[in-house]
Structure 1
Amino acid sequence: MDEEYDVIVLGTGLTECVLSGVLSVEGKKVLHVDRNEYYGGDCASLNLTQLFRKFRGTETHPESLGRDRDYNVDLIPKFMMANEELVKVLIYTDVTRYIEFKLISGSMVCRKDVINKVPATVTEALASPLLGFFEKRRAKKFLEFVSGYKDDDPSTHENLDLDKHTMVEVYDHFGLDQNSQEFIGHAMALHLNDSYKQEPARETINRILLYVSSVARYGSSPYIYPLYGLSELPQGFASAIHGGTYMLNTPVDEIVRDENGKFVGVKSGDSIVKAKLVIGDPSYFKDSVKATGKVVRSICLLQHPIPNSDDTDSTQIIIPQNQANRKHDIYIACVSSAHNVCPKGFWVASISTIVETDNPSQEIEAAIQLLGPITERFDYVSETFVPLNDGDNSQIFISKSYDSTSHFVSVHEDIKDIYRRISGTELVIKKRATIEEEQAAFEAAQ
């Protein structure tokens, strides 16, 4: 433990593991530490005994639930877009060699207590019950505009400047009503609330393109998910390390700083491990973060698919804020034995949203009502944190807490932001050379 490193990473949440993997691939000497005996941090996947111990204070659970080892229940479930940058990071760091992914069957949105598939193509828009007769024609024209837009071809622009015109101006240009705006903005572009409408349209258009291209890649849904739960991702990084060192079950007693507050090292027991900088989740830096709110989550074990979800083995359902009479959307992520997270005949449905009142459990009632009979239910509320500073002076780079969404859009934004602050450059994922290409380059240099 007297060795000195380029980077120390604290916590094995996905944000920390991605940064650890990328920096290791770039040749940095990385030490990755977690106080827990398992991978994943706040987004760990628990077996049945761990689940009951955490939420009920007992390891005893009904035999009717099946075998302990058949469960891998995510504390914070999230799905990936098939074409998103985070998937490219997993490929870049070789993590995909150790993990198998499966398509999430459905992507749905709730309106007036009824759930429907989110239309992602012109054909689906024309057939969707979410849209009225005349609205279908307008949505068709909008989706054709999105898929055909080219920066260097003004004939595809419809006299719109995506960097100047706001999204509400784009909606108005195509005559889209509130119903269309709701599923486009929340279920396709995955915005957390309606504030995006007043921002330049480019980000939203890019998000819609990502959604549509991800659907086109595999079929019915844009989302993929790792077999055996999200904890497989940090374990995959540990398997694919490129000179990095992982240490679980290692207490962190102190973040050592010099007289100017700059990071020196991490103290564990009697040892101090030094490094040039440290990356970690908020739980390791309680004096350097501020609370931003709370998220309520409910993990529900079901013995049936979610009613009216086409009897699929998995789905994401978004209840837009206006449908729930709230300021924030409600998310439902449902997976099943098809994803090796529970026994056959069971489904795991997880609900989440940002807390707005003094009665968090009541705030998710609209989602609970969609699930049908619930076999077991585990509710909890957690605070969310952000760093107090950018880490430039202290060389302490702290990630944000995971939000209430059931996707990784905001997580990847945080990863890119931390990388930018550390390196001063954008995170650009390049195609890595194969072993054969590296060998040929080595021989050519001799």
Structure 2
Amino acid sequence: MAETESYPPIDPTNFDLIVVGTGLPESIIAAAASAAGKTVLHLDHNPFYGSHYSSLTLQDLTSFLRSHSEIPKTNPPQSDDTETLDVNPRPLYSDVEISSYDDSLEEHSRKFNLDLAGPRVLFCADSAVNLLLKSSANQYVEFKNIDANYIGDGNGNLMNVPDSKSAVFKDKTMKYSEKNQLNSFFKLVQGHLEAVKSVDVAVDDEKIISDEDLESPFVVFMDKMKLPPKIKSIILYAIAMVDYDQDAGESCKDILKTKDGIDRLALYHSSVGRFPNALGALIYPIYGQGELPQAFCRRAAVKGCLYVLRMPVISVLLNKDNGNYKGVKLVSGQELTSDKLVMDPSFTITSSNSPSNVSKLARGICITNSALKPDISSCLVIYPPRSLYPDQATSIRVLQLGSSLAVSPSGKFVFYISVVCDNAIEGKKSLQAAIDDLFSLHSDETESKELKPTLLWSALYIQDLIEGSVGPVVMTPTPDGNLNYNDLLDATSKLFKKLYPDDEFFPETSNTDSSDKIEDDSEVVLDS
């Protein structure tokens, strides 16, 4: 009885919605439901916000990965009560491999804010930014610009990714003919987009890309435009952010159509210069990606959502008459009822079938003693398919962040690496190839022209990719393999619409309460 006494009772005991887990999808749904006037209880068994989308200290991240990679012990069967379904943890991580080459890092553990779901950035014009503005959650998070975007050739060379006409002509790694080809292609795409928007205005037919071309593979259209391999690679993998090798033909698992490629180019270019303090297309939240779910939790709390951390749910209650969902039972023994229930994907319910053939994502976190380039604090590096080794099937993305973003102590840099994969062996091979190309293990290695950053610590792991589902209980998706949150937000809004088809997904707000924001020349403050 002493164990349950440490859990305070929750009052009231009935809600419109109970949400279990404070990951980004759950936090957005809780905030949207609260904004729609629903009574919401938001629970998390963790002592922190963010769940699998959180930013953790070095020590906490190590503990989290290890605890969520173990086969969990199931709750004892409740054979005497047929109205309950056991809730059990589901390990989302496997093949966790943590290596430390510098014992002094442990002394600075709390100065790190390490993303579980990195690498992640926001495009200045993407859905996440628009949702932050629409929901007023932007009041609780600040950003900084990502300084540079590179594409790696596998030989230790990092080429700038030009994001505008002026950037193309300033680039010193491209030939004059290549600059003209790239600018001509950008001009064609821009002309097409303007023509599509100007439905009431006569347009030059030469500016419009045909329907046949729009439905064709983007790589085929670029071949038709006679773009060389270097330009194609920049557009496909460093701007459109494609995962799979588009030159693999029918064996490619996900071929990007021209119409979708144009949309991705439009997103990239419209992101450049949207905010005065963000010179490039990409921004990152100060203190880490874990600030995003916290921002929506704060917004939900303002609208009346009740929050309780360190509160595990052990079972789901069913209606005795019809078997429909009724409520939840907490570890304290207290029973709560609600009309609807949302749970994060790190749980399973005994009657539900676990997903089969789960896709995989390999993630890596590395800490070094220096940046890739002396004058660049934050940058994104893309390794296109086959750039690091012949059978590299997918793009490898690397994000470098420094202390200016409050994710590491001064003089240390954090690198996030990710790649989609079919299995752990393939995923770990890709991660290791990127690590070998970027870092050295010994600071006295001077054979290369430029000294590589020295690797001080690393965590490599495989994460399951699980989609959201709708049933008696709504299950949210795991972090996906994309660089931004667009697909994840689209899935989350659809889950909300399934829950509340008659309610708007965040009604428009005036967004005038921004007195607690700090503005200076280095911070990107979102403002509608």
**TM-score, with structure 1 as normaliser:** 0.86
Task: Give the letter aligned to residue 367 of structure 1.
Answer: A
For residues 47-77 of structure 1, what are the alpha-carbon distances to aligned partners after superposition, in whole Å with 9 as ceiling and x for unaligned? Answer: 133245456899x983356533322111222
Write the distance in 2 (CA, Å) between the matches of 1:319 and 1:427. Answer: 40
Contact 1:131 1:180 in 2 (8 A): no
Structure 2: which 5+ residue stretches go unaligned?
Answer: 1-9, 68-97, 247-251, 440-451, 514-528
How many residues matched? 429
CA spacing shift, 1:171–1:261, aligned 2, 3 Å: farther
**Partner of residue 307, structure 2:** 246
Please, what is the CA RMSD of the aligned residues? 3.0
| 8 Å CA contact retained: 2:36, 2:504 | no
Match of 2:341 among 250, 275, 278: 278
**Post-superposition offset of 1:370:** 1.3
Give the conservation status (yes or no) of the 8 Å contact 1:332–1:351. yes
Q: Which deviates more from structure 2 when the two are superposed, residues 128-137 or residues 1-10?
A: 128-137
Give the whole-Å Cα distance in 2 for the aligned partners of 1:203 and 1:262. 41
Task: Tell me whether 1:183 sits opposite 2:183 in the alignment.
Answer: no
The correspondence for 2:382, drawn from 311, 318, 343, is 318
Give per-residue Cα distances to partners, 1:16-62, cap 9 Å, x unaligned. 1122212221222221111111111112211133245456899x983
CA gap 1:415/1:424 in 2 versus in 1, 3 angstroms: same
Matched, 1:104 2:104: no
Tell me if the contact between 2:127 and 2:485 (Cα under 8 Å) persists in the aligned partners.
Answer: no
CA-to-aligned-CA distance 1:196-238 (integer Å, 9 cap, x gap): 9855433321221111111222554322111111222222223
Whole-angstrom distance in 1 between the partners of 2:172 and 2:507: 42
Matched residue type, 2:296: F
Amino acid at match of 1:158: I
Match among 158, 161, 175 for residue 208 of structure 2? 158
Question: 1:441: which partner in 2?
Answer: none
The percentage of aligned residue pairs carrying the same residue is 24
- Residues 1:428 and 1:136: Cα distance change in structure 2 (over 3 Å): farther
Partner in structure 1 of residue 36 of structure 2:
26
- Whole-angstrom distance in 2 between the partners of 1:278 and 1:99: 28
Question: Which range is displaced more, 425-434 or 354-363?
Answer: 425-434
Q: Deviations over 1:162-187 (max 9, x none)?
A: 76454245324422233323221222
The 5-angstrom pairing of residues 202-351 of structure 1 reads 202-218=259-275, 219-241=278-300, 242-258=303-319, 262-269=324-331, 270-285=333-348, 287-290=352-355, 291-306=357-372, 309=373, 311-324=375-388, 325-351=391-417
**Cα shift readout 1:339-368 (whole Å, capped 9, x = no counterpart):** 111111010111111234553432212210
Q: 1:305 deviation in Å?
A: 0.4
Query: Which whole-Å deviations, capped at 9, do the CAs of 1:107-145 have from their partners, x for residues lacking one?
Result: 222224322221111232344466554333222122112
Q: Following the alignment from structure 1 to structure 2, what is the Cα–Cα distance between the partners of residues 224 and 249?
A: 32
Instruction: Report whether the alignment pairs 1:12 with 2:22.
Output: yes
Shift of 1:253: 0.6
Partners of 2:229 and 2:364 lie apart in 1 by: 29
Q: 2 CA distance for matches of 1:345 and 1:63?
A: 13
- 2:378 partner amino acid: S
Q: List gaps (5 residues or longer) in structure 1.
A: 437-446
Which residue of 2 is the match for residue 48 of structure 1? 58
Change (3 A) 1:64 1:415: closer
Deviation at 1:397, TM superposition (A): 2.1
2:128 maps to 1:86: yes
Q: Does the 8 Å contact 1:5/1:29 carry over to 2?
A: yes
Q: 1:205 to 1:363 in 2, by over 3 A?
A: same
| Contact kept in structure 1, 2:242 and 2:256, CA below 8 Å | no
> Which letter does structure 2 place at the counterpart of 1:179?
K
Matched, 1:74 2:131: no
Letter in 2 for 1:144: K
1:409 aligns with 2:486: yes
Partners of 1:199 and 1:63 in 2: CA distance:
46
Instruction: Choose from 158, 166, 171 the match for 2:222.
Output: 171
1:423 and 1:285 map into 2 onto residues whose CA distance is: 23
Query: Could you tell me how far apart the structure 1 residues matched to 2:324 and 2:175 are?
Result: 60
Aligned partner letter, 1:382: Q
Opposite residue 386 of structure 2, the aligned amino acid is N
Report the TM-score, using the length of structure 2 for normalisation: 0.73
Deviation at 1:430, TM superposition (A): 5.6
Is 1:201 matched up with 2:285? no
Higher relative contact order (CA 8 A, sep 6+): 2
> What code does the residue aligned with 1:323 have?
S
Deviation at 1:311, TM superposition (A): 3.2
Greater CA deviation, 289-298 or 37-46? 289-298
